[in-house]
Amino acid sequence: MTNERGGTETPEERAARVQAAKDRAAAAHAARESGQPPPAAQPAVPAQAAAGSPPPVEAAPAPVLDDRPRTASGQVKRDPDAPKLAPPATPEERAARIATAKEAAARAKAAGGTVTARPAAARAEATPDAVAEESAAAAPSDGILRTAKGTIKRDPDAPKLAPPATPEERAARVAAAKATAAAAKERAKSVPEGTASALGKGPAVAAAGPARATGPSTADLAAFRQAYEAVIKPLKSAGEQPLRAVAAARAERAVGRAEFELTPAALATVAAFQEVFAELEIDLLTSPTDPVFVVDKRDIYQVLRACKTHPKLAMNFFRGVTGVDLLDEGIEVVYHLKSLTTRHAVTVKTLLPPDDLVVPSVSNIWRAANWHEREMMEMFGVVCAGHPDPRNLLLDEDLTIHPLLKAHPLQELELRQGVNIF
Amino acid sequence: MVLEQGFDQEYETVDLNINMGPQHPSTHGVFRMVLAVDGELVVDVEPVIGYMHRGGEKLSETLDYRQGIGIQDRTDYLGQFNCEQTYCMAAEKLGGFDVPERAEWIRTICVELNRMASHFMFIGAYGTDAGFIGTAFIYGFRERERIQDLFEELTGERLMYSYFRVGGVAWELPNGWTAKVSNLLKELRQGVADFKGLLSENEVFLARTRNVGVISAERAIDYGLSGPMLRACGVPWDLRREEPYSVYPRLEFEIPVGEYGDCYDRYTVRLREIEQSIRIVAQCLEMMPSSGPIMAVNMPRMLRLPVGEVYARTENPRGEYGIYLVSKGGNKPYRLRMRSACFANLSALREMTIGEYIADAVMILGSTDIVLCEVDR
Amino acid sequence: MIQAWFGIGWLDAFLRVQLLVGFMTVNVLLLIWAERKVLARIQQRLGPTRTGPMGLLQSVADAGKLLTKEDVKPTTADRWVFDFAPFALFVPIFVSFLALPYARDVWVRSLPLGLFFVMAIQSVTIVGMLMAGWGSDSKYALLGGVRSVAQMISYEIPLVLSVVGIAMLSGSLDFNVIIEAQDVVPNIVYQPLGFFIFLTAAMAELARNPFDIPVAESEVVGGPFVEYSGIRWSMFFLGEYTNLFVMSLLGTVLFLGGYAWPFGLDVGWPLQLALTMGKVSLMILLLFWIRGSLPRLRIDQLMSFAWKVLIPLTFVQIFLNGLVLTYAWPKIILTFTSGAFLLLAAYAIRRGVRRTGRVPREQRLDALRIREARGLS
């Protein structure tokens, strides 16, 4: 039987290895609890490594892998046999150093602080005078504990931010977290499939997570993780779209569209439009630059043709046509038009339902539309009926995916990268 | 050629297909043109684009409103400040931010200097297409390098500036920069005069560019041409005049207009635009307030735009560059469409080239002044 | 020399030829360097500066590179035609060296029909170009080859006719006689129009700017030589620069007085040699200068220039020569008449280009037919 690294080992060897690791972990834990240095480093690599296969990597639970001397809190003590960084001082120098330090300490203490020991190396560089000046200058008398340098020192008597948890406390915490997660799961299950409203908190939590000082609570994190997993789980069938949950959540917290004031020129354009298309149902939206007219799909061709041919509008300059992927609602086709004679500028758009992505081509109205429509067709999968040359323009000739759609083959990767997908 | 037996029968000939590009010294960028020729006459031409398509619009959906400025630089790498300005304008209009005055003046100076640099490069490259082996090219680049030195001092970059921000510009001008700009204007005037002497009156250049690649004004409008391509046909359409933005309502400048819509007119229009840009920059230097804020007040660090859409457009050196921005309330665009001028300009290539000679095809392509990164985004 | 010392004619000729080969090789290296430097200075660059002092060893480095390159050949190339073409181009040029005079008695062979010989041999190089274009089995090479043949055949006629004028003036086809006739006044004084025609036709024969459409780098890259690499390509290069020297030497001998003017025939051969070389250098410099200053003409403009402008002008020149010689008028009349026609021609060309340039597309029936077939007009 082979392990992950390709080496072979018998089940007995594997069991022995696992048991040894467990023992080491228990020993280290016990040592940590009791404040003693942990046992010695782990035994040598098993015999199969000698055969030439790469040694199996153990996930050693104990962080201690050597027998360096450590202090009470587990930090590595400076090896007394290691070469000193500064040459050994003569007894006179040492006496002088000690005297200076005692002076500085006395001064600092008089100012109301404790003194930490500075490492020998740094002390060797600083002259006694400089040290004295420094500590004298940096000893304010505001009652805050400061080091000899003047930085604020953590008071050793102050309470710790969180006391070390006893095993019972820890177990209680874990249980509470599990309960919240289960509750969230229950909530998710009760909602109809595909619309996890728990996700409503997800993006907000993700976005706010690193920025908030206190961090998201455990329950929120659990809810987000569950919703996130629901979104990125692999697609089971071709028709399954991972974004449906997101779309529904977004619909729940939908924000209204901002309204803008139209300039007098834009108002004149609106008036002309309303006059020309009095009998059609056209919605007016506002944008900071142009009026936006939403036209029904069935009327779009005659509206555009009238835009060009009607003398009141005379929109002879075709700026562009593009699509906007609105997920569940379909794809919105947006035309930007301009008249060089009457100076009207409009945005005309129409919504194509997701099951009928066909819009009549306007290449015979404006020659400029030819290339713009080819690009829209290949990027969104919209079909411009009647286009004289519906080949791919920018993409490869044989490519059949539509890259600008929101649900595209690399979408999972984007989600993992934390890109806002709306 | 397939010859029939015997001389008393008709020759049956097929057209020769010549493939220019995607690697070719005179297709300005990675662009492929398939010409069907009958002798020296071009019978059909099919432009093949998409070699530089990098998914700029898709990328912009994943970048917030400060990161997205870098994409704009790389879209039109000869009119960088223009594209940055359009993008910032779109975000500012949608978000309702007011750009302070000094920032607008700084922006205009940068934009017009950029226009000049782009046109100088066009003239240099166009001369090379015409057959000047390098003389015109170096002349153009000499002037362009002077402008680029200024930009390097301002932004630290030679090509991808990323200096504009939504709401203003990123940092204040360096000391003495405006003095350097006004010294430069004299040298640029001399550069334009050099080009007039080298190219504009040269009989061979005239013979190569007059009446070549003619397109009528109606056709030009129908194809969506804009910028110098449209103005060369006699249509005095310039977005700085028609849909003024920034500080252009306060500036005094002319719109150079051509007459016939041939290659020579496109060249002349661009050359005269350089002169007008020099005039604009001189006025900007005079009228600019010497101190002031360069960023809109109360700009949030993470910019979130309200739900809505906007189509902002400016006059690029190549034509009308538009940004259609759809926002769903987040810090990234939901959809960003770059309406690039070269895309529309290039679609008229077939119309202009059929019926001309092969050598003219190169000249016509050069006169469209395309930047393939803008065509393909 | 050896003829005089030892009386062995063939050894004498052999040594002279060897001397000439050595001279020619060094000369070509120097010419390439000089062209690069002069062109660079016109284009505000420096040219080669690093290889050797002032970049003098650049051509040596290039030659070394070319010699060590792999000889890549298209598999479908017509083997013998492809292999033989460089030699078909180079050998005639070298042979024409043999008849040209450098100083009195300093040449390989003095032929009584020297001028006729040189002109005839020059025509054979055209075959070499056509062989290169055809043998490469490549569309670009074929286009380039056919264009170059058309150009060269067209410009042979003005070249030869302008030289006929000189022969008329001197009364002989022997180079010796032509030069001796110029020991007081060089022929350029009597034949300014002829010199202009000769210069233009020589530039076209050499396929230099503004007539370098066969090797137009920005269109059909490399022309007929596009499929050649390494030594074979360097043979073409060698041929081109040798031809440059030959044409300049021809121009010097025929128009600038060769070794005779201004110091006469009795000065020693070193001074005469130096004089010849100086004049040749001047002409070469003129050709370099023109190369760096003018764009290239299109093939149909080239051809119409040759047939509609240059050939009528040569007929005018010959007619004037005939008039003056028949009626034994003083030759100074030729100066004025010929010069007047030259100025008239310059004015007419200038006006013609400015007014029409080229027939507009609407008036060209073939273009109209093609456009209608494509649904464009």
Q: In CATH, what number is assigned to the domain containing residue B275? A: 1.10.645.10
Q: Is residue B15 part of a domain?
A: no
Residue B81 inside a domain? The answer is yes
Inspect the structure and tell me whether chains C and B have 3 or more CB pairs less than 8 Å apart.
Answer: yes
Q: Which of C287, C293, C358, C371 to mutate to test the interface with B (most CBs of B within 10 A)?
A: C358
Using CB atoms, which residue from B53, B62, B219 is nearest to A414? Answer: B62
Q: Which of B25, B24, B27, B18 is nearest to B365 (CA)?
A: B27
CA A170 to chain centre: 29
pLDDT-based confidence at B115, cuts 50/70/90?
A: very high
Q: Is residue B197 part of a domain?
A: yes
Residues C60 and C95 in one domain: no
Question: Cβ B331–A420 below 8 Å, yes or no?
Answer: yes
CA atoms within a 13 Å half-sphere pointing along the CA-CB vector of B187: 16
- Amino acid letter at C146? V
CA distance B208 to chain C (A): 7
Q: From chain C, pick out residues whose CB is under 8 angstroms from the CB of B356.
A: 361, 367
Give partners of C (≥3 CB pairs < 8 A). B
pLDDT for B13 beyond 70 = no
Q: Is the domain of C232 the same as that of C311? A: yes
User: How close is the nearest chain B Cα to the Cα of C306, in Å?
Assistant: 14
Residue A96 CA from chain centroid, whole number: 56
What residues of chain A lie within 8 A of the CB of B376, using their CB?
394
Stretch 16-75 of chain A: residues touching chain B, C-beta under 8 Å: none
Nearest CA in chain C to B137: C43
What residues are paired with A348 via a beta bridge?
Answer: A293, A335
Three-state SS for A214-272 is CCCCHHHHHHHHHHHHHHHCCCCCCCCCCCHHHHHHHHHCCCCCCCCCCCHHHHHHHHH
Which chain B residues are within 8 Å of C358, Cβ to Cβ? 207, 210-212
Closest in B138, B206, B208 to C44, CB measured: B138
- Asked, for residue B175, whether it belongs to a domain, the answer is yes
Q: Sheet holding B335-339: strands in order across?
A: B308-316, B319-327, B335-339
Give the distance from residue B170's alpha carbon to the nearest chain A alpha carbon, in angstroms: 24
Asked if residues A354 and A339 have their Cβ atoms less than 8 Å apart, the reply is no
Shared domain check, C312 and C186: yes
* CA nearest to A203 within chain B: B330
Of the candidates A260, A394, A419, the beta carbon closest to that of B53 is on A394
Strand-strand pairing, A383-385 and A358-360: parallel
CB contact under 8 A, B355 and C370: yes
- Which of A124-128, A396-400, B124-128, B145-149 is modeled with the greatest confidence? B145-149
Q: What is the pLDDT of residue B112?
A: 95
pLDDT of residue C244: 92
Confidence of residue B211 (pLDDT cuts 50, 70, 90): confident
Predicted pLDDT at A86:
58
The residue ranking higher by pLDDT, C234 or B104, is B104
Please give the interface size between A and B, counted as residue pairs whose CB atoms are below 8 Å apart. 115
Angle between helices B263-287 and B101-130 (to 10 degrees): 150
Q: Could you tell me which residues come within 8 angstroms of residue C2 by beta carbon, excluding any fewer than 6 positions away?
A: C8, C11, C12, C15
Alpha-carbon gap: B158 to the closest alpha carbon of chain C (Å): 21
The verdict on a CB contact (< 8 Å) between B18 and C361 is no
Neighbours of A311 (CB within 10 A): 8
Report yes or no on B131 lying in a domain: yes
CA distance to partner chain B, nearest, from residue C108 (Å): 37
Burial class (CB in 10 A: 0-12, 13-18, 19+), B297: exposed
Res C357: pLDDT: 45
Identify the band that residue B18 occupies on the pLDDT scale cut at 50, 70 and 90: confident
Instruction: With cut-offs at 50, 70 and 90, classify the pLDDT of residue B82.
Output: very high
Nearest to B359 by CA among B203, B198, B212: B212
Whole-angstrom CA distances from B10 to A100, B3, B40, B351 are 114, 8, 20, 30
Radius of gyration of chain B (CA): 22
Judge if C161 and C286 occupy the same domain.
yes
Interface test mutation site (partner B, options A348, A375, A396, A405, max chain B beta carbons within 10 A):
A375
pLDDT band for position B74 (cuts 50, 70, 90): very high
Q: What does each C-alpha distance from C216 to B131, B265, C221, C224 come to in angstroms?
A: 8, 24, 6, 10
Q: What distance in Å separates the CA atoms of residue C81 and residue C79, rounded to the nearest whole number?
A: 6
Among the partner-chain residues B133, B203, B362, the one whose CB lies closest to the CB of C349 is: B203
Residues of B in contact with A289 (CB under 8 A): 93, 310-313
Q: What is the per-residue pLDDT for A408?
A: 66
Angle, helices C231-251 vs C192-205, to 10°: value is 180
Q: Are residues C169 and C33 in the same domain?
A: no
Q: Is the CB of residue B355 less than 8 Å from the CB of residue C371?
A: yes
Domain boundary among C39, C68, C97: C68
Among the ranges given (A368-382, B101-115, B190-204, B255-269), the one the predictor scored with the smallest mean pLDDT:
B190-204
Q: Give the pLDDT score at A144.
A: 57
Same structural domain, C94 and C25: no
- Chain A CB contacts of B46 below 8 Å: none
Q: Which residue has the tokens 């203490």?
A: A109
Does B332 sit within 8 Å of A420, measured CB to CB? yes
Please state the domain count of chain B.
Answer: 1
Rounded to a whole number of angstroms, the CA Rg of chain C reads: 22
**What confidence score (pLDDT) does residue B3 get?**
39
Q: Check whether residue C186 and residue C115 sit in a common domain.
A: yes
Q: Is A179 on the interface with B (CB under 8 A)?
A: no
- pLDDT number for residue A236: 54
CA distance A82 to A76: 13
Same domain, C27 and C173: no
Domain interval for residue C186 = 72-373
Q: Do chains C and A touch (3 or more CB pairs under 8 A)?
A: no
**Count of positions (residues) in chain B:** 377
Q: Are residues C285 and C368 in the same domain?
A: yes
Assess whether C62 and C123 both reside in one domain: no
Quick check: is B20 in a domain?
no
pLDDT tens track of chain C, all 377 residues? Answer: 555 555 667 787 788 888 888 888 899 999 999 999 999 998 888 888 888 888 888 888 988 888 888 888 888 877 888 888 888 988 998 888 888 888 877 777 788 888 999 999 988 988 988 888 888 887 777 877 888 888 899 999 999 999 999 998 888 898 888 888 888 888 888 889 999 999 999 999 888 878 887 776 545 556 778 788 888 888 888 888 999 999 999 999 999 888 888 887 778 888 888 888 999 999 999 999 998 888 888 788 888 889 988 999 999 999 999 998 898 888 888 888 888 988 988 888 887 777 654 556 666 666 777 777 777 75
The pLDDT assigned to A145 comes to 62
Q: H/E element holding B366?
A: helix B358-367
Of C48, C68, C88, which residue is a domain's last? C68
pLDDT tier at B166, thresholds 50, 70, 90: very high
**φ, ψ at B76 (rounded to 5°):** -110, 100
Provide mean pLDDT across the span B235-258. Answer: 92
Residues C101 and C52 in one domain: no
The predicted pLDDT at position C362 comes to: 64
Task: Kindly report the nearest CA distance between residue C97 and chain B, in angstroms.
Answer: 29
Nearest-Cα distance to chain C for B313, in Å, is 30
Print the domain residue range for B328. Answer: 52-376
pLDDT at C181: 86
Please give the pLDDT value at position A140.
Answer: 43
| pLDDT of the residue at B25 | 65
* Residues forming a β-bridge with B168: B165, B295
**Chain-chain contact of A367 with B223 (C-beta, under 8 angstroms):** yes
Do B251 and B288 touch, CB atoms closer than 8 A? Answer: no
CA distance B69 to B242: 26
Q: Do C218 and B357 touch (CB under 8 A)?
A: no
B168 touches B91 (CB < 8 A)? no
- Average pLDDT value over all residues in chain B: 88
Main-chain phi, psi angles of C198, to 5 degrees: -60, -45
> Is the Cβ pair B337, A347 closer than 8 Å?
no
Residues of chain A with pLDDT under 50: 1-6, 41-64, 113-141, 192-215, 238, 242
Residue that is written with structure tokens 């040699």 in the block: C273
**B41 found inside a domain:** no
pLDDT of A219 reads 63
Chains B, C: CB contacts under 8 A, how many?
122
One domain for residues C12 and C92 = no
B35 in a domain, yes or no?
Answer: no
Spatial distance between the Cα atoms of A221 and A243, rounded to a whole number of angstroms: 20
Task: Tell me how far CA of residue A396 lies from CA of A380, A392, A403, B46, B48, in angstroms.
Answer: 15, 7, 12, 16, 11
Provide the pLDDT for residue A196: 38
Residue B127 pLDDT exceeds 90: no
- Total number of domains in chain C: 2
